[in-house]
Structure 1
Amino acid sequence: MSSQLILVTGVTGFIAGHVVEQLLRAGYHVRGTARSAKVALLQKTNVPNLEYVAIDDVAVSDFTEALKGVDAVVHVASPLPGKASVEETMKTAIEGSLNVLRQAEKAGIKKFVVTSSFGSVLESSLKASFAGLNFTDSDWAPTTHEDVLANAEDPYYLYFASKVLAEKAVWDFAREHPNVDVATILPGLVFGPYAAIFPLPSNVSQLGTNSFPWALINGTAPPMAPPYIVDVRDVAKAHVLALGLGPVVQPESVGKKRFLINAGIYTWKQAAEYLKVVRPELNIQDLDKFADMPGPISTLDTSRARDVLKFGEYIDPQTTVVDVADALVTVSKTW
């Protein structure tokens, strides 16, 4: 148990909500950032050991008040593609990460856990996921800003690019500041139920990656995507475990505390087949309507999380699929 105060950015986000819940269960005190319009609503929840501070733009806002008394930072906030222009998306991802790190380091904070993505290791958008390769958390996507502009119409590419360029900026910062201790978490595609202590999504546009299983239970096949799957609760678990890791001497640790987190490979066709059995009341499309994978599926090597984080067992994909389906049915009834 710990009485440390942890700052969590983007506290109402899908992953961040579970990070907060698990930190509180582990005995930490948590301060979450959210936009001003949300803070007043959040404060009404009155959760013990959880407080909020308004940060309206993570890329430029002053974090002075937010960082007071903080022992470590878990930076989760990140833009999703399609919500803003390409330039704004990239700025929020990259400058948002650097703004938090710069101000926190100046405030004397040394411990950081940052949310990245499996997209940071892929060679290029979807193609590398279906090339029969094996990716480790020592691999890096060779994405450049020029590549982003050339692929601006591809939402997958834009999301992966924002993640890899932001994470590279984080590790560059770590090299320049050997007093800081950084870990990054690289989850596969994240699904699962919503954190209980925060407001639920109020419409389909707020579902994030859960829009894929939402399509599945409403009679359509989700868009083609890499069939990696990890439960949001396991992603939060990885953040908390990384926070508890002892420091490693920099700069030798730069890039070493980087952890791919993924429960396995599980296609939407497999998910549909299973849900037809355990949730027959759902409107699942006929199995022959699901497209085959366009190539041999590449694997994600999660051995570093096993060996260094001591991660243990993952929530199995079938449990995740059922839990997210049930959660989405419940959420939709509130709309």
Structure 2
Amino acid sequence: MSKGLVLISGVNGYIAAVTAKHLLDQGYSVRGTVRKLVSAEPLLKNALKDYAEAGTFSVIEVPDMTVDGAFDDAVKGATAIAHLASPVSFHFNDPEPILYAAINGTKTILTSALAHAGSGLQSITLLSSIAAVKNVHLPPYAFTEADWNDIAEAKVAELGKATPGPFIYSASKVAAEKAFWQFRDEKKPAFAMTAINPVLVIGPPLVAPKSEEAIGETIHGIYDVFSGKSIPAPMAGLPQVVDVRDVADLVSYSIEHAGETNGERYIASSAVGHPQAIADILRNEFPEAKNRIVEGTPGEGYRKDYTVDSEKDLTVDSSKAKKLLRGGLWITYEKSVADTAKAFAGLV
């Protein structure tokens, strides 16, 4: 017996595919949406083949999630919805289509859920981002779920197509989450609504990339180090990371405990990432690749517990989300980095 049917939008995406596998393993049935059915073939014919053949995993085509009624059929019979489809890149160059897709994709799935899902729908979880939380603060400061990004949308309004890519991405995430909560305030639906706000997500993809071009932006730095290309410069701003499997676990928790998580945001952050730490971890984990992986300056530039000095730096408080994890512990940074690299075995 299935624990319920979870609809996952954009199921072929990096976080969504891992979440689908996690929920299927937990005993749920999963219906995923994709823009084109062919994009789901790696899941249907390989990664989730057993579930597809058993009838617990299926995929439905939603060519344009911004069109009114786009999700009307997809939501029918769902007991939970995880809206994980959203444009993701730090290199966008035109804010208008990105914000349109993020905002209207959120509105259409919510509207369809309210009108067509039926009384069995218990919860909707939105994959938001730390980008919807982080604003301008002088250190020391710890961002919490009470914080909101109040600068990205203003930057887009000011600069238009000249807006830097990271601001466009941030504006899309904050605008989509605002639309999510506005819907809850105005419609007062019977189902629970929860937002998950991860920092930079790393960890192994469910489907190993077949080419360098297929590697997601958030894990490309690990590939660069593992393949011997270089040790990238440290990430500016907030260098925090979290494992994709922990994000999936938080989505699962919000579904299983809808009453508890209703109306809440949860920041997902497990460690402070650093390129030199990646090199050190991989050289230790894969001694046979030491000659390929650039050594850099071992041990420099990061704290050995993968944290920042909270009395001097900007950080995030993810204690609220940590309490929801099975076992109460984040996946370690070492494991996240090593497991991500293993997905690149066929490319190096």
| More off after superposition, 25-34 vs 238-247 | 238-247
Query: What does 1:29-48 correspond to in 2, within 5 Å?
Result: 29-38=29-38, 41=41, 42-45=43-46, 46=49, 47=52, 48=54
**Residue 2 of structure 1: how far off its partner (Å):** 4.6
Offset at residue 277 of structure 1 (A): 2.6
SS in 2 for 1:242: helix
Please give the residue correspondences for 1:85-124 in structure 2 after superposition, counting only pairs within 5 Å. Answer: 85-107=94-116, 108=118, 109-124=121-136
RMSD: 2.9
Are 2:200 and 1:189 equivalent residues in the alignment?
yes
Following the alignment from structure 1 to structure 2, what is the Cα–Cα distance between the partners of residues 183 and 11?
19
Find the counterpart in structure 1 of residue 79 from structure 2: 71
Q: CA deviation at 1:21?
A: 0.5
- Summarize deviations over 1:149-188 as a string: whole Å, max 9, x none: 4464422222222111111111111111212311111111
**Distance in 2 between residues matched to 1:67 and 1:91, nearest whole Å:** 21
Q: How does 1:183-332 map to 2 (within 5 A)?
A: 183-195=194-206, 198=207, 200-217=209-226, 218-225=228-235, 226-247=238-259, 254=263, 257-280=264-287, 281-282=289-290, 283-288=292-297, 296-307=312-323, 312-330=328-346, 332=347
Return the offset for 1:104.
Answer: 0.8
Q: CA deviation at 1:146?
A: 3.3
| Paired amino acid for 1:190 | V
The equivalent of 2:143 in structure 1 is 135
Judge conservation of contact 2:234–2:274 (CA < 8 Å) in 1. Answer: no
For normalisation by structure 2, the TM-score amounts to: 0.82
Q: Is the 8 A contact 1:7 1:74 kept in 2?
A: yes
Please give the secondary structure, in 1, of the residue aligned with 2:343. helix
Three-state SS of the structure 1 residue aligned to 2:135 is: coil
CA distance in 1, matches of 2:283, 2:215: 26
Residues 61-80 of structure 1: CA deviation (Å, up to 9, x unaligned): 62122122111110001102
Q: Which amino acid aligns with 1:34?
A: V
CA distance in 2: counterparts of 1:40 and 1:279, whole angstroms: 32
Aligned 8 A contact 1:80 1:89 in 2: no
Does structure 1 retain, via aligned residues, the 8 Å contact 2:93–2:163?
no
Look up the SS of the partner of 1:33 in the other structure. Answer: strand
Deviates more, 1:174-183 or 1:229-238: 174-183
Contact in 2 for aligned 1:275/1:322 (Cα 8 Å): yes
Contact 2:36–2:63, Cα closer than 8 Å, also in 1: yes
Q: Partners in 1 of 2:203 and 2:40 — Cα distance?
A: 27
Q: Which residue in 1 is equivalent to 2:306?
A: none
1:119: how far off? 1.5
Give the count of matched residue pairs: 321
Q: Distance in 1 between matches of 2:316 and 2:205?
A: 25
Kept in 1, the 8 Å contact 2:145–2:267? The answer is yes
Gaps of 5+ in 1: none
**Cα offset, 1:85, TM superposition:** 3.0
Q: Which residue, 132, 149, 164 being the options, matches 1:154? A: 164
Distance 1:213 1:305, change over 3 A: same
Q: Which amino acid aligns with 2:282?
A: L
Aligned mates of 1:113, 1:224 — CA distance in 2: 32
Counterpart Cα distance in 2 of 1:29 and 1:181 = 19
Secondary structure, aligned partner of 2:74: helix
**2:92–2:166 Cα contact (<8 Å) kept:** no
Q: Which residue of 1 aligns with 2:7?
A: 7
Q: Secondary structure at the match of 1:6?
A: strand
Q: Which residue of 2 aligns with 1:171?
A: 181
Which letter does structure 2 place at the counterpart of 1:302? S
State the secondary structure of the residue aligned to 1:299.
strand
Moved more, 209-218 or 66-75: 209-218
CA apart distance, 1:194: 1.4
Cα displacement (A) at 1:279 = 2.3
Counterpart among 62, 82, 85 of residue 55 in structure 1? 62
